[in-house]
Each structure stands twice: as C-alpha cells, then as structure tokens.
Structure 1
Amino acid sequence: MDSAQAKLESIEKTFPETRAAGPVVELPAPRLDGTVSVEAALKNRRSIRSYSKEPLKIAEISQLLWAAYGITKTAEKLPPFLRGGFRTAPSAGGRFPLDLYLAAFDVTGLPPGVYWYDSEKHRLVRTVEGNRRKELSEAAFNQSQFETASAAIVYSAVYERTTVKYGRRGRDRYVCMDLGHSAENVYLQAYALNAGTCAIGAFTDLWLKKAVGMTRAEEPLYIMPLGKVE
C-alpha cells in the first residue's frame, strides 16, 4: 500500500459509523396538485447556475426533497430494505441506496445548517450546525453556483444496500441509475417552483463527507445547489 492510499484510509476511519442526531425539523406536507404540467417542466428544465436574492422557503425545500426521494406509498409487512415504502424515484430491486442531505444557507423558516432528510417521516435531522456554504463551495472547487444558492441537496450512497443483491453490477450501474432518476425529479420540481439547480459531480469526496457529516459507509455522489430564478 502506498503512502497516499494509507493516508486516505486513515482519514476514512475518522468518520463516524452512525449519523449525528441533532434537532429535528418537521417538514410541511408536500403539495400533490401543482399547476405546472409534466410536459412543461420537461420542455423548460435547464441547468441554472445563478439565482436571485429571494430565499427559498421551507415549504419549497419540503417539496423538492419529497420530489427527490419522498415516500408515495406504504403498506403493512413491507420488506425492510424498502426503508418505509415506495418512493417518487424508482430503484433497482427496491434497494434505495441513496441518502440525501439538505445544506441550508438562506432558507426562510429553517436555521442554517446541514440536515439529513429522513424520508420515511418526511423530516430533517440536523447533522452539522451553522452555515456551510463556504465548506461546500471549497469542496466543489469554488464553483459559481454556491455564491447565490439558497440551499443545496447533497446525495450519498450506501453501496452495500444494492451490492448485497447485485454485486459489482450494482456498484457500476444500478446505483448511478438510481441517482439519475432522483436528480431529474429535482430538476423538474425546481422548475415548477420557479427555482433552479445545476447538478455538480466535481468535488473532493472527503471534504464533502466532512462538510455534511456523512457516516463512514456513505460515499458522496452529487451536489445540487438550489435557488429561486432571477
């Protein structure tokens, strides 16, 4: 093992095995009767890199998180790997390997901080206190979206949830497919809210893990800065 690999492994060991459990924020129920058609959202969806000064509201954050990975159907005696029920985005084998964090920079009704999205109960659990705009921006090589974003969704995956059933194919293909399904929902819902986003895959993994309080088992996949459009 070379020195660089040994250093990376030593850093990985500093991440906790369980997620920090800070204050809980109950989210408003999502709207199920929007006024923008699916066709209009598909036609007009764009990657938006600059946002207005108007902050997102907690109700809009709730809607975006629900669109990304919210529960749409529950039933008795569901297998545990479904983690609460069927969702807004499909998943290979129903394994649902993703976890979502909400980094709040300037959100009306939500204190700045990083929150894990508890999709089963549609609520936020704080993992890191305080505004982490600077830390996320630095992790993503100071890309311009962070200058005006009101918040950001950060995706991670626990690959084992999928690979335990599908092996290497799950890691190389299925988890990435799951991520794409969910992220496109965010794009479409953002348009319907007169908001925008631009998915980012260029970042330093360990810096991002630390910035949002990920566990050792999680691997970061995506950052989606969010803001109202100008």
Structure 2
Amino acid sequence: MPDTQLLTYEPAPGQAPARARGEAPASIELPLPDMSSGAPLMKALSLRSSTREFSGDDLPPATLGALLWAAGGVNRSATGGRTAPSAHAFNEIDLYAVLPNGVYRYDPASHRLVLKHASDARNLTGYQDFVSEAPLDLVYVVNTSRLLQMPLQQRDIFSAVAAGAMAQNVALYCASEGLGNVVRGWINHRLLADALKLNEDELPILAQTVGALGTKLSSLAD
C-alpha cells in the first residue's frame, strides 16, 4: 500500500492587521432576530453550500444580529440555553466577529458585540485571498478554562463538535437568506490568536467567512 499523501501548506509570511475602517464603538447593540424570516428548514438544507466569492458590501445590522444569534444566541431565556448544543452546557466556544472596523466578541446574554480592539484583522483569519475582502469573518475560539471539569481526552472532541454545530447554524441561516459562507480550518492558530489578542487559555479552532454572494455567483443563483 502506498504511503498516504498528505496536504502540505507553506507557512504564511508575517502579517499585521490593517487600519480599522470607520469608527469602532466599544459595543454594538444588535437587533433581535425576526423569527418569521428566511426559508423553511428543508429548503435551507437544500440550498446549503460553500462559496468562496463574496461581495464586499457590509452586512446590515439586522443580518449581523440574526446570524450571530443563530450561531449561539440565547433561545431559552429562563435557562440561558443556546441555539447550538454544548456538552454539559459549558458553552466553551466564544464567537468573534472580525469586521472592517474592529475585532468584536459576541456576548450572547446581552446580544451585543463587545470591542476587543480596533483594527481590521480579516486578512489574518486565513490564507485565502477572499478572507480580507468579505465583510465578515467569524472565528470560533475555545475557552479551555471552561473545560476543566471535563476529562482531558474529551475536551478536543466536544469543543470541536460544539464549534461545528455553531458553524452549521450560521451556514443554514446564510442559505435561508441568500448569503454566501464557507467554513475554514486552514488557519494559523498562533497568528490568529495574537490578532484577536487572546489569552493563553483561548484557542481559535475554526473560521467562517460570510457575505453577500459575489457578482458571478449571484447571477448563477438568479
């Protein structure tokens, strides 16, 4: 049997975040999602796909609020339950929105974005060219300090499952609203952690680019 052929990636050259575009408020209050909007679930499933060509148009606040809520917002106020599952409700995945005007962390309890720092770090969320052109790159970050009560051998598995569930929620929301998205695992973990100014117990494990479809893809969809 021949040796398994593995993909090899060249390390990315040293990069730095770009200057933030526009103002970067300390927090951004997000509109609550319209529960009656979008395509039905089965239709959204039939339309779910990955795209790699995006318009650079900014996402409207209502769209940004809805997709972040879909990813991991509170859908049961009495218990604080989320839209995506987490083993033992540890909720160890923090969601970061990397926008042209800054890096923000999504706070599900208050349904708002909290500024981490004012810079355009989209170019550091992956190796592909389109990551710096699309209006939004989501980064899924494991807060390992919340997993200390979980057996060590289960932590990587369950946190990966939780991040995947959140990313699929976003993908289905995008399909239901005619947006493009692609989930990306090809990231420089250390470079991205530095760009997001994470602590040592925080690890970015997944990224997802979201935006309106590019001109070519939009015409095909029509």
User: Shorter-chain TM-score: what band?
Assistant: 0.7 to 0.9
Q: Is the 8 A contact 1:158 1:217 kept in 2?
A: yes
Among 52, 58, 61, the alignment partner of 1:58 is 61
Partner of 1:223: 207
Cα separation, 2, equivalents of 1:150 and 1:126: 17
Partner of 1:183: 167
Cα separation, 2, equivalents of 1:148 and 1:193: 20
Among 127, 148, 156, the alignment partner of 2:141 is 156
Cα separation, 1, equivalents of 2:119 and 2:31: 22
Partner of 2:51: 48
AA of the residue aligned to 1:49: R
Cα separation, 2, equivalents of 1:172 and 1:23: 32
AA of the residue aligned to 2:139: V
Q: Is the 8 A contact 1:49 1:144 kept in 2?
A: no
Indicate the percent of aligned positions where both proteins have the same amino acid. Answer: 31
Q: Is the 8 A contact 1:50 1:144 kept in 2?
A: no
1:1-230 to 2 correspondences below 5 Å: 23-75=26-78, 85-105=80-100, 112-136=101-125, 140-141=126-127, 143-162=128-147, 164-229=148-213, 230=218
Q: Do the aligned partners of residues 124 and 192 (structure 1) sit closer, same or farther apart at CA in structure 2, a change above 3 Å counting?
A: same
Report the RMSD for the aligned CA atoms in angstroms: 1.6
Cα separation, 1, equivalents of 2:71 and 2:173: 9
Q: Do the aligned partners of residues 169 and 34 (structure 1) sit closer, same or farther apart at CA in structure 2, a change above 3 Å counting?
A: farther
Q: Is the 8 A contact 1:157 1:220 kept in 2?
A: yes
Q: Secondary structure at the match of 1:221?
A: strand
Q: Do the aligned partners of residues 135 and 86 (structure 1) sit closer, same or farther apart at CA in structure 2, a change above 3 Å counting?
A: same
Give the CA deviation at 1:147. 4.4
Q: Secondary structure at the match of 1:165?
A: coil
AA of the residue aligned to 1:152: D
Q: Is the 8 A contact 2:72 2:108 kept in 1?
A: yes
Query: CA offsets, 1:42-65, max 9 Å, x none?
Result: 111001111124331121111110
Q: Do the aligned partners of residues 34 and 165 (structure 1) sit closer, same or farther apart at CA in structure 2, a change above 3 Å counting?
A: same
For this pair of structures, how many residues does the alignment match? 190
Cα separation, 2, equivalents of 1:97 and 1:64: 19
Name the stretch that deviates more: 144-153 or 193-202: 144-153
Q: Secondary structure at the match of 1:215?
A: coil
Q: Is the 8 A contact 2:26 2:115 kept in 1?
A: yes
TM-score by length of 1: 0.78
Cα separation, 2, equivalents of 1:119 and 1:153: 15
